[in-house]
Amino acid sequence: MIRGLRPGRINVYVEGVVVEKGDIKRVRGGHLLCRARLRDDEGREIDLNLWDEQIGEVEVGDRVRVENGYVTSWRGRLQLNTGRRGRLIVLDRQKIG
């Protein structure tokens, strides 16, 4: 669940549906970054940072789970990240709409 997440939280497990996927940007270090939006079963949303190969693995409508993620804040918005120790798993490719 997204409820209760705060910047600095680690070892976070969140499941939800990707409802938006932004533009891909090249950032420091040559990595690719795409900011997506994840909605949980309560209807709460959080930004989800997709890095490099994760970008092509996830589409709008996919149900995903972030395991061992962490939470940051960027320009006043919460962001969910996988980092080196976390995992992003696509559970279901059923499209929304």
Structure tokens at 86: 């976390």
Q: Is the pTM of this model over 0.75?
A: yes
Supply the pLDDT for residue 97.
54
pLDDT block averages, 10 residues each, the chain of length 97: 94 97 94 97 97 94 97 95 92 74
What domains appear along the chain, each with residue ranges and CATH number?
12-92 (2.40.50.140)
Supply the pLDDT for residue 33.
95
- Cα–Cα nearest to 49, from 25, 85, 13, 28: 25
Structure tokens at 4: 């209760």
- Please count the other Cβ atoms lying within 10 Å of the Cβ belonging to residue 5: 19
Distance CA 38, CA 41 (A): 10
Supply the pLDDT for residue 83.
83
